[in-house]
Amino acid sequence: MQPTLVTWALVIFGVITLIPLILAQLSMLVRPGSQETKDLIIGKGEDWRDKTHFRMSLGAAWADWLFFAPVFVTGSIGVLLGQTWGYIFFGAAGACSLYINIILWFTEKAYVYPTRGPLKYFSYYWGFFVYWGTLALAYSVARISGIEF
């Protein structure tokens, strides 16, 4: 399963989408109480809504660094090497992205959408993660099933 232009496009889209998230999550792990971290995670000048909001964000940072980032990196390397296991990991990363963003749609939309507006919300703050996750999962399933793009 040699990588195609679609493979490269999905890996690049994933890297562009996920690098800022992973860096913000690193800030959350290293300096969880800093204003810089708050600015990155919840917006400039904003504060945690409550302890649950802070704990959810800290838990997501740990989960992203311990689970999601390694799965995404492994999958990206694997698909670029044309390996079946790469598509399994890449699809798993897509599924993880979909899973958390379905949750965030219900838990965060009321806070993020009004402050960011539709263009930002349906692109970087929420949409790109869903778009990439859907495409990565569908593409991985198709490639494992023997469909070429």
Average of pLDDT values for 100-112?
A: 90
Whole-Å CA distances, 44 to 39, 41, 47, 135, 138: 4, 9, 9, 31, 35
Confidence label for 103 from pLDDT (cuts 50, 70 and 90):
very high
Domain ranges within the chain, ordered by starting residue: 5-144
Confidence label for 147 from pLDDT (cuts 50, 70 and 90):
very high
Please give the mean pLDDT across all residues of the chain. Answer: 94
Distance CA 108, CA 126 (A): 10
pLDDT given for residue 114 in this prediction: 86
> For 37-55, what is each residue's pLDDT tens digit?
998 888 878 889 999 999 9
Q: Phi and psi at residue 148, in whole multiples of 5°?
A: -100, 145
